[in-house]
Amino acid sequence: MQVVHTIADLRSALAAHRSPAFVPTMGNLHSGHLALVQDARRLGDVTVASIFVNRLQFGPNEDFDTYPRTLAADCEQLKAAGCDVVFAPSEKELYPEPQGFTVQPPTELANILEGHFRPGFFSGVSTVVLKLFHCVFGSGPGTAVFGQKDYQQLMVIRRMVSQFAMPIQIVAGPTQRAADGLALSSRNGYLSEAERAEAVHLSMTLRGLAREALAAADALPQQREAMEHRAMSALAQRGWKPDYLTVRRRADLQTPTLEDTRQANRLVVLGAARLGGTRLIDNWEI
């Protein structure tokens, strides 16, 4: 496995390959990331992972400075998973000057849910992903694998690739979960032992909301807000600070219509909530 730190060395390492499969990460890897690498190995002629903590997607009061940087351990895991090339640029390498050009996703997708509570997040994500795509693929074809846990992010990236006519296939890797159902996340490492035991209740509450939405059928448009309020109140009573727990349309994350509710596989439940000092997200497709 090659570990490269410059764009020039990355392009040199990939020069002989025609169809890279790429997994972008911020490091501090867990088995969910490694499952994406395993997916990527089946999709291209060379498997590439990036490790870069992207300042542009962190808000002023978020954890950019304290986000764990574990490059050596990450590289060991990636090597064991069969990754071929690791791209681990410095901030100066990827942003040699202030990034004045940025990607601004459409507001109807980027300013709701995560984007409402983390202003500018999806612009930061889209900008770095576009730049990484150019580093890895140039103008050629390839495949990129993203985890479905970041449901809205996956949708934003798919929309960006489509609208910019990039010859890149976006593949969704299923959310990887611990034995108790907690979605794996690098931020789970922030949880205390007691918080870790409690954390599974986000997943459990979302699954309960999904069951309630499925059972409501034609009444969902009238009952949805009350269902969401009950789910958020249930978490709050356990000591959480919920940002949102909601039932949305899969296609665009907008409020579902009666037609959507009559076809259950058009819906998804999504949630974000803070437990102590840690903010967790999760989702379940109905």
Q: What is the pLDDT of residue 88?
A: 98
Q: Are 1 and 86 in contact (CB under 8 A)?
A: yes
Over its C-alpha atoms, the chain yields an Rg (Å, rounded) of: 19
Query: What is the rounded distance in angstroms from the CA atom of residue 172 to the CA atom of residue 254?
Result: 20
pLDDT of residue 264: 62
Average pLDDT, the chain: 96
Query: Does the annotation mark 33 as catalytic?
Result: yes
Residue 262 has what pLDDT? 76
Check 5, 17, 30, 33 and give the catalytic one.
Answer: 33
For residue 134, which phi and psi values (nearest 5 degrees)? -65, -35
Q: CA–CA separation, 260 vs 248, rounded Å?
A: 9
Structural domains in the chain, sorted by start: 2-173 (3.40.50.620), 186-285 (3.30.1300.10)
pLDDT single digits (tens) 163-205: 999 999 999 999 999 999 999 999 999 999 999 999 999 999 9
- pLDDT tens for residues 121-174? 999 999 999 999 999 999 899 999 999 999 999 999 999 999 999 999 999 999
What distance in Å separates the CA atoms of residue 122 and residue 128, rounded to the nearest whole number?
10
Instruction: Give the pLDDT mean for 219-226.
Output: 91
pTM: 0.95
